[in-house]
Amino acid sequence: MRYPYSEIEKKWQDYWEKNQIFKTDFSQTENKLYCLVMFIYPSGSNLHCGHWYNYGPTDSWARFKKLKGFNIFEPIGYDAFGLPAENYAIKTGVHPYDSTMQNIDAIREQLKKMGCMYDLSAELMTCVPEYYKWNQWLFIQLYKKGLAYRKKAPVNWCTSCRTVLANEQVLSDGNCERCGSEVIQKNLTQWFFKITDYTEELLQGLETINWPNKTKSMQRNWIGKSLGAEITFNVEGSDEKISVFTTRPDTLFGATYVVLAPEHPLVDKLTTEDNKKSVENYRDSIKSLTEIERTSTTKEKTGVPIGSFAINPANGEKIPIWISDYTLLTYGTGCVMAVPGQDERDWEFSTKFKLPKIRTVQPPDDFEGEAYLADGPAINSDFLNGLYVDDSKKKIIEWLEENGTGKKTVKYRLRDWLISRQRYWGTPIPIIYCPDCGEVLVNEENLPVELPYNVKFNSEGISPLISSEEFVNVKCPKCGKDAKREVDTMDTFVDSSWYYLRYFNPHLDTAPIDKEIANNWIPVDRYVGGAEHSTLHLLYSRFIHKFLRDIGLVNSDEPFKNLIHQGIITNNGVKMSKSKGNVVNPDDFILKYGSDVFRLYLMFMGPYEMGGDWSDKGITGTERFVQRTYDLFINNKNVLSNCELKDNFTIDSLNEFEKSVYKKVNQTIKKYETEIDAFRFNTAIASLMELLNEITKNFKNCSNEIKVYTLSRFSVLVSPVAPHLGEECWSLIGNKKSLMESPLWFTPDKNALIEDTVNIAIQVNGKLRSTLEVVANSEQNEVKELVFKDKKVSKHTAGKEIIKEIFVKNRIYNIVVK
RNA sequence: GCGAGAAUGGCGAAAUUUGGUAGACGCGCUAGAUUUAGGAUCUAGUACCGAAAGGUAUCGGGGUUCGAGUCCCCGUUCUCGCACCA
């Protein structure tokens, strides 16, 4: 009989839902396990393979843990604000609220068909006042601590999304992380969250969490800590001082010029009359350049002198001051001391403009390069001469500090998080501008500041909220005069930076978080999601979590204890995307094979963290597995009614077929546990297939008792990776209660794991010549005779001198001959 | 350019933790059985060369070892991340 998957899957989904089996009881905390997947952006293309690949296997892991006795919390929600819905509105006229809600309804139905253990009472969506009210509350708390502020700054502006972006949202090619369009620099007044107050803790905290090394190193890289010194250069004939940051203070004697960022405020003050024109021209020439062009390593260096001179504090030498776009205003002090002898960029620049080069580190004799970056003894450096780089650094810093011309400094690459967006579909920023009082916070009791429904959508780069008079016009909370609301909305990464805390009670209206539950259930025990969020969501969440800790809302330092990234499923080597039209729709497969088969196949494809190229070629493999499993249980329907389920058997009491099955079952349990626990689903499923093959071969010669023993265990093993099938099999053999309702796990019988015979390899000179079956743990002298009796062996040893014999118990017997 | 990871049959992949019979499991393929028929099911086979004995095989080249897919050195290709960060 063909496995009626649609009927059976529906049956169990309804059963689980009706009996609220996946509703978590938060009061039981000693065996709690919070298993979280990154919530869904509800786009019009609904659930795709990537979602399935993220959610299915993770749920299988959680089900395994549930069977093992953990109290699981597995929620799902909707990251419902965002640009795509608004762009869709501009294009089609459908309001973002309407399209989003429609998408959510469709996705909710799809999710049901996956058969995950989601606690539906915990569902949340970020686009409703009930949720975003607390974004505003969070903003107010940050503001009160001085961690939310407004400033005018050069910001990234996406020419297509018509809004500003955080640094993290700009790709390394200078394009928009979201749409791939060009990003340009604009000087605008924007809202920032002061993530930089937590820089050092964000860096140190990485040591305490179990995340992929790569992700941690990406965050380290993004934070970009560098140790060095700040050195002050006097300017000839001026009271102004130039401060430079360098990681190589030891090369100070080799500094032959200083370069300021073209936008640096000192440029106006220090440019001499003669050079005003060329400086202006230079500044104009780089204005039109995009950030990509400016920071491209392949671009030839440009720059002009500004006419004045700095004094090298180490040796009193007069050195020229230049401006060049390779110096960035936003990093360090916006000035560099140029040491051509030890820096490739400076070497290139000084060669082009014929500026002097002085080596201050002695390169080895065979060194043929230009700038020498490696270690060596100092030269041309007065009191540093002879010292190697590390010692030299220490000594010059001491000297600088004694002379008051510099100090040891730490710099970070991390910038504050720009959170304002000139768009509609996000959380309104709870700020009111009053002509008299200036920038005023909305009172907490007046939250939420609700998004008005009726606005004019535009692609002009102005927040649509400005078109809603009832929204914009407001009385000042301080003085009562006419005032205007902030019309920008928050970056949606604010929404996702704390959603995992809201799941415990998404409808709570007195606080953002149910503290009592959260304190027992946080951190998240396992977080699974895409690696593309390494420096965005995952960094922001860590920051917000630490802030919430500091204001007493959570009692832990890190939100996500364990993190795993699922791999990417590509189609013909390219990432699936709607725009490329190469998206594989899971619904077709669910219809054709059922959700269990599809889930199994995704897991069986290969290592979870590797992903891979999509092909449905092998899906018949998992389809057959499901069918054969079903047939097996149909053929043994109600075996439980004939005999009891026994704990264990004495191996000697079994016939050879039973023995073989009995051993295989127990070996499989052991193997399977290890594999699932480590997210190695492919090998876990392979072990189940091996077990099924064993059963198929030997079951007809087994007693009912052994059958019951085996089938009970087999259905429990199947249940995490094919949840509907598992329940069905469990019930087919005669169990009354659902597996998920009363979870259980079988521990393997240790005696069954011991092999009584083993095959050992016999090698001559390291080459395999024969194999030999011997009693397990046989000693060399017990095996030796048999080995030398073997004709295949004697053929290769005949007439040769035996030099050595190597014996490794239960593994090999290697004879070395000459 | 810098950093990290990877490379195994016709294909997806095991074995890498601990150096010890390479290719588990699955797809595909071949042959046979069964069926009115099947893209259904079952049985057997399937790394390559060879009739066999045997030989050759884990990206290429060296090395350590009785023994290397696994450890070390050099190189190639691919993927990912960073990229004038001073």
Q: A808 CA, B18 C1': separation in Å?
A: 13
Share of chain A above pLDDT 90, in %: 72
Distance measured from the CA of protein residue A684 to the C1' of nucleotide B30, in angstroms: 30
> CA A523 – C1' B86 distance (Å)?
39
**Closest nucleotide to the alpha carbon of A816, via C1':** B66
pLDDT band for A292, please (50, 70, 90 cuts): low
Protein residue with the closest CA to the C1' atom of nucleotide B21: A761
A538-568 pLDDT, tens per residue?
Answer: 999 999 999 999 999 999 999 999 999 999 9
Helix, strand or coil, per DSSP, at residue A424? coil
| Whole-structure pTM value | 0.93
* Residue keyed to tokens 């380290």: A220
Q: How many Å from the CA of A44 to C1' of B76?
A: 44
Residues A48-60: pLDDT tens digits?
889 999 999 999 9
What average pLDDT does the segment A408-429 reach?
A: 93
Rounded to whole angstroms, the distance from the CA of residue A624 to the C1' of nucleotide B28 is: 15
- At residue A484, φ and ψ (nearest 5 deg) are -125, 145
Phi-psi region at A612: left, alpha or beta (left = phi > 0; alpha = psi -120 to 50): left
State the pLDDT at residue A757: 85
> Which residues neighbour A618 within 8 Å (Cβ) at sequence distance 6 or greater?
A601, A604, A605
| Strand nucleotide closest to residue A791 (CA to C1') | B53
Which pLDDT score is estimated for A159?
Answer: 80
- Bridge-based pairing of strands A612-613 and A569-571 is parallel
Average pLDDT over residues A486-509: 96
Q: With 70 as the cut, is the pLDDT of residue A296 above it?
A: no
Strands (E), A298-405: 304-311, 318-323, 335-338
User: Is residue A185's pLDDT more than 80?
Assistant: no
Q: Which residue is nearest to nucleotide B40 (CA to C1')?
A: A2
pLDDT value of position A293: 66
Q: Which nucleotide across the nucleic acid strands is nearest to A685, CA versus C1'?
A: B25
Q: Which nucleotide is nearest to A814 (CA to C1')?
A: B66
If you write DSSP's letter for every residue of A428-465 in order, what string do you get? BP-EEEETTTEEEEPPGGG---PPPS-----SSSS-GG
Contact partners, residue A210, CB within 8 Å, separation at least 6? A561, A562, A563
pLDDT value, residue A386: 93
Task: Give the nearest nucleotide to A535, CA to C1'.
Answer: B81
- Identify the residue whose Cα has the smallest distance to the C1' of B4: A214
Of A32-36, A483-487, A674-678, A801-805, the range with the lowest mean pLDDT is: A801-805
Q: Can you give the distance from the CA of residue A375 to the C1' of nucleotide B75 in angstroms?
A: 27
Q: Which two tokens stand for residue A486?
A: 């902030």
Residue A373, pLDDT above cutoff 90: no
Q: Which helix (H) or strand (E) holds A97?
A: helix A96-114
- Map tokens 């046989």 to a residue: A778
**C1' of B7 to CA of A26 (Å):** 47
* pLDDT at A89 exceeding the cut of 80: yes
- The C1' atom of B55 and the CA atom of A796 lie apart, in whole Å, by 15
User: Which residue blocks in A289-329 are alpha helix, DSSP H?
Assistant: 291-295
Evaluate if residue A647 carries a pLDDT over 80: yes
Distance from C-alpha of A728 to C-alpha of A730, rounded to nearest angstrom: 5
Which nucleotide shows the minimum CA-to-C1' distance to residue A259? Answer: B86
Alpha-carbon distance of A758 to A781, in angstroms, equals 16
Report chain A's terminal Cα–Cα distance, integer Å.
63
Task: Measure the CA–CA gap between A677 and A762, rounded to whole angstroms.
Answer: 35
The pLDDT of residue A298 is 65
pLDDT at A295: 66
Q: What gap in Å lies between CA A608 and CA A457, rounded to an integer?
A: 42
Average pLDDT (A2-10) is 94
Question: Contact at 8 Å (CB) between A444 and A437?
Answer: no
Between CA A631 and C1' B11 the distance (Å) reads 28
Reference A489, options A442, A543, A431; nearest CA is: A431
| Residues of chain A above pLDDT 70, percent | 98
- Specify the nucleotide whose C1' lies closest to residue A601 (CA): B26
- Contacts of A647-654 with CB under 8 Å at 24 or more apart are A648/A749, A648/A751, A648/A752, A649/A705, A649/A706, A649/A709, A649/A749, A651/A751, A651/A752, A654/A706
Backbone phi, psi, residue A332, to 5°: 60, -130
Q: Which of A122, A210, A137 is nearest to A517 (CA)?
A: A122
Give strand letter and number of the nucleotide nearest A616 (CA to C1').
Answer: B27
Strand pairing class (A431-434; A482-485): antiparallel
Per-residue pLDDT, averaged over A218-245, amounts to 93
Is a pLDDT exceeding 90 seen at residue A743?
yes
pLDDT digits (tens, 9 = 90+) for A187-210: 788 999 999 999 999 999 999 999
The protein residue nearest B27 (Cα–C1') is A618
Q: Is residue A69's pLDDT more than 90?
A: yes
How far in angstroms lies nucleotide B52's C1' from the CA of residue A582? 52
Stated in angstroms, how far is A713 CA from B16 C1'? 31
CA–C1' distance A761–B58 (Å)?
A: 20
**Looking at residue A652, what DSSP letter applies?**
G
The set of strand B positions with any atom below 7 Å of a protein CB reads: 3-4, 11-15, 20-22, 24-28, 40-43, 54-55, 66-68, 80-86
Residue nearest to nucleotide B14 (CA to C1'): A683
Task: Show Cβ contacts of residue A667 under 8 Å, excluding neighbours closer than 6 positions.
Answer: A748, A752, A753
Average pLDDT, rounded, for chain A: 91
